[in-house]
Amino acid sequence: MHNLFARTASLLFIFSILLGALAPLASAQSKPQRVEPKGNDKKNQRPKPRTAEELKAEEEEKKRYEEEKNAIPDEGIIAVDTNIVNVDAVVYN
């Protein structure tokens, strides 16, 4: 009898802790978050026509992308001529 009471009491204690831990999570969902309007503008504005500069930049980007895609990798060895000088120095104070 004593064992059954202890088991029931411990289960009730565990359930009360779980309920207390999950209650703030459930109440936090009660109010939806909405974005504040920033001005008197329409929500869905019509797209603005692109300027000549934007069209030119987009065209250059497409050309560069095509050149990179069609580029042939160079498999040759590149020789670099350098003048390397070794300096051994000792400083006395």
* Nearest-angstrom CA–CA distance, 12 and 39: 54
Beta-carbon contacts of 50 under 8 Å, excluding residues fewer than 6 positions away, are 58
| DSSP type of residue 30 | S
The average pLDDT across 50-67 equals 95
Count Cα atoms within 13 angstroms, Cβ side, for 58: 6
pLDDT digits (tens, 9 = 90+) for 3-57: 888 888 888 888 888 777 766 666 655 567 777 777 777 777 888 899 999 999 9
Give residue 55's pLDDT: 96
